[in-house]
């Protein structure tokens, strides 16, 4: 049976996204068809169209999503029709060197893949899907290891965010930085990922959580996420942070922007012996400069956190339970519920640093 659906497609580099009718591929063994119920507008989607990433075209946008399984192929064991699932845009193969050495977030099969061709057609031509998902569409066909079951009590709009923003932000706090109770945490960049990191830091018992953004309007969101302090970014940021942390600097700095300038600012605002965790994905030609002397004398740790350094099959269900129990409140993250046609405007809002997360509700 042929399935047709509407998706948000960029036909070629530099052209605007548009809603078009697509034909879904028939599912094969080990695949599932999912009706998308909610999809978050993530900065990685914007990177697909603003030149930061150079994916193949035509391209269906979207990767942060949740939905309901409506069909399963032969030999599928991870999901059944009717299951509520979060889509995983970087599913682990469980057999490569990284997976076998307990680093599934670096899986060599899926890590770094911007887009995949998956059988969708547009005017008879094959179509690629963002990060193997293409979630700005009414339905998707994905391999079964790309779906993670979550409790049906969890609202789809919050479930969608677990697949990217929340997992990335909380993982940076819990897995990479391993923030301990009483420590001070600086979070730079208050999009969906940064605000999730703020919420996770408070949930981890951080004594001080300093939220930083260039936009004064983010103060209310930062406070809703649990920040103890809010600072508008400036050239004097390191001095401001030291003034609020006993003149030492923060124990941890979480950089959620992905720019050399903010990585450097995070480094300068971290105490001697502290840790800087880079979460934001930046451009290949944006170079971070640190002198050999300051690397040695500061004794700081600089590291990246890829996809929250998380085993998604374990941590997404655990996050769902944390949300349902109230341990990790996330209602503040969804600032706009929109339609597929509104996604381009949501990209504009994101570019201006407005709001937290816009979520497409289908």
- Do 119 and 234 lie in one domain? The reply is no
161 in a structural domain: no
Q: Is the peptide bond before 288 cis (omega within 30 degrees of 0)?
A: no
Give the CA radius of gyration of the chain: 20
- Do 256 and 189 lie in one domain? The reply is yes
The tally of domains found in the chain comes to: 2
pLDDT at 112: 64
Q: Is the model's pLDDT at 354 over the cut of 70?
A: yes
Cα 63 versus chain centre, distance:
9
pLDDT at 6: 93
**DSSP one-letter code for 332:** G
pLDDT at 119: 75
pLDDT at 1: 64
Q: Which of 296, 301, 313, 318 is nearest to 255 (CA)?
A: 301
pLDDT at 85: 98
- Do 133 and 185 lie in one domain? The reply is no
- Do 23 and 127 lie in one domain? The reply is yes
- Which residue, of 262, 290, 306, is where some domain finishes? 306
Contact 173, 196 (CB under 8 A): no
**DSSP one-letter code for 174:** I
319 in a structural domain: no
**pLDDT tens sequence across 303-323:** 999 999 999 999 999 999 999
155 in a structural domain: no
Backbone angles phi, psi at 238, to 5 degrees: -60, -40
Contact 12, 58 (CB under 8 A): yes
**Which CATH number fits the domain that encloses residue 100?**
3.90.180.10
**Stretch 197-206: mean pLDDT:** 97
- Do 128 and 62 lie in one domain? The reply is yes
pLDDT at 52: 75
Q: Is the model's pLDDT at 26 over the cut of 90?
A: no
SS3 state at 66: strand
251 in a structural domain: yes
Total H helices, total E strands in the chain: 11, 18
321 in a structural domain: no
Q: Is the model's pLDDT at 54 over the cut of 90?
A: no
Domain, as residue range, for 52: 3-149+330-361
- Do 73 and 105 lie in one domain? The reply is yes
Q: Is the model's pLDDT at 299 over the cut of 90?
A: yes
**Stretch 156-168: mean pLDDT:** 96
- Do 229 and 341 lie in one domain? The reply is no
Q: Is the model's pLDDT at 146 over the cut of 70?
A: yes
The predicted model scores a pTM of 0.93
**Which CATH number fits the domain that encloses residue 228?**
3.40.50.720
d(CA 179, CA 156): 29
Which residue reads 């949300």 in tokens? 323
311 in a structural domain: no
pLDDT at 114: 66
| Strand spans (E) along 83-190 | 84-87, 115-122, 125-130, 139-143, 147-149, 184-188
Quote the percentage of the chain above a pLDDT of 70. 99
Cα 76 versus chain centre, distance:
27
Q: Is the model's pLDDT at 240 over the cut of 80?
A: yes
- Do 348 and 275 lie in one domain? The reply is no
- Do 99 and 181 lie in one domain? The reply is no
Q: Which of 17, 46, 32 is nearest to 133 (CA)?
A: 32
What average pLDDT is seen over the chain? 93
CB atoms within 10 A of CB 226: 19
**DSSP one-letter code for 172:** I
Judged by average pLDDT, the poorest of 31-35, 107-111, 208-212, 310-314 is 107-111
**Stretch 127-147: mean pLDDT:** 93
């Amino acid at each position: 049976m042929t399935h047709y659906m509407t998706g948000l497609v960029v036909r070629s580099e530099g052209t605007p996204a548009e809603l078009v009718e697509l034909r879904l591929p028939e599912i094969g063994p080990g695949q599932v068809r999912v009706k998308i119920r909610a999809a978050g507008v993530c900065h990685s989607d914007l990177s697909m169209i603003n030149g930061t990433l150079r994916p193949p075209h035509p391209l269906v946008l979207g990767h942060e999503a949740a939905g309901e399984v409506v069909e399963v192929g032969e030999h599928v064991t991870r999901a059944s029709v009717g299951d509520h699932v979060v889509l995983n845009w970087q599913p682990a193969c469980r057999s490569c060197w990284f997976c076998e050495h307990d680093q599934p977030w670096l899986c060599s099969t899926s890590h770094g893949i911007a887009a995949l061709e998956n059988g969708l057609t547009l005017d008879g031509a094959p179509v690629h899907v963002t990060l193997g998902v293409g979630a700005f569409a009414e339905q998707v066909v994905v391999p079964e290891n790309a779906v993670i079951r979550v409790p049906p009590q969890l609202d789809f709009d919050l479930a969608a965010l677990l697949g990217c923003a929340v997992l990335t932000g909380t993982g940076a706090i819990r897995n990479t930085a391993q923030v301990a109770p009483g420590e001070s945490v600086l979070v730079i960049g208050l999009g969906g990922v940064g605000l999730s990191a703020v919420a996770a830091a408070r949930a981890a018992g951080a004594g001080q959580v300093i939220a930083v953004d260039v936009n004064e309007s983010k103060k209310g969101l930062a406070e809703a996420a649990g920040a103890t302090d809010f600072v508008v970014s400036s050239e004097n940021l390191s001095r401001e942070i030291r003034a609020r942390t006993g003149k030492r600097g923060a124990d941890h700095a979480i950089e959620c922007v992905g720019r050399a300038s903010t990585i450097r600012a995070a480094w300068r605002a971290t105490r001697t012996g502290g840790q800087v965790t880079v979460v934001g994905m930046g451009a290949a030609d944006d170079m971070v400069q640190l002198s050999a002397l300051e690397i040695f004398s500061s004794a700081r740790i600089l590291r990246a956190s890829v996809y929250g350094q998380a085993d998604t099959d374990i941590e997404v269900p655990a996050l769902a339970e944390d949300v349902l129990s109230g341990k990790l409140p996330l209602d503040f993250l969804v600032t706009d519920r929109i339609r597929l046609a509104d996604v381009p405007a949501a990209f504009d809002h994101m570019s201006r640093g407005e709001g937290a997360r816009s979520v497409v509700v289908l």
